Amino acid sequence: MSRDYKNNFYPRFWSKVCVKSKKVCWEWSGSISPNGYGKFSIKNHPHSAHVLSYKFYHDDHDSSLCIDHICMNKKCVNPWHLRQVTRKVNNTENTDGVGARNKVKTKCAKGHKYTNENTRIKIVRGNESRVCRICERLWRKKCPSYGDNSKRAALNKLKKTKICEHAKY
């Protein structure tokens, strides 16, 4: 972050923070976004307060990474409570979101244990999920066409072939 940038906004930014020791959270007293994070405007553009705090103290900011609260306090802007992580880590480690809840599960919905032998990793649109092999085998017995792409391929081919101009495919 450039020195001019820091000099222009630094005092106004820190006037909205009660700075204490490095060990405790420094709560943001300025504007709060609907999702609970501190907001700070620079030239009428809103910025996340914790991201600016990280940028003020760390020169290694990578814009492709997320700034994560180690303390799990969304209002905290203490730079020693913040770290850079990937979106995947941010969504699974310090959150109460779906990814974090599913990560700690040890059994599937039917109660089978997630083990290396019994678990298959499925990737859909870049997101990983676990599939219980026992449940998958039981499902295939009930529905023989499960996982059979030949019917789907035939249907897609049919959709691409216009039989009638008025038909909706």
pLDDT tens digits in sequence order for the chain, 169 residues long = 555 555 678 889 999 998 888 889 999 999 999 989 999 998 889 999 999 999 988 888 898 999 999 998 999 999 999 999 988 788 777 666 677 777 778 888 889 999 999 999 888 777 778 899 998 888 877 766 655 555 556 555 555 554 444 444 4
The distance from CA 27 to its chain's CA centroid, rounded to whole angstroms, is 23
Burial 85-113 (b: 16+ CB within 10 A, else e): beeeebbbebeeeeeeeeeeeeebeeeee
- Domain borders along the chain are 1-94, 105-160
Residue 27 backbone phi and psi in degrees, to 5: -75, 135
Q: What is the pTM of this model?
A: 0.59
So what CATH class is 1-94? alpha beta
Using alpha carbons, select from 82, 70, 77 the residue that is nearest to residue 26.
77
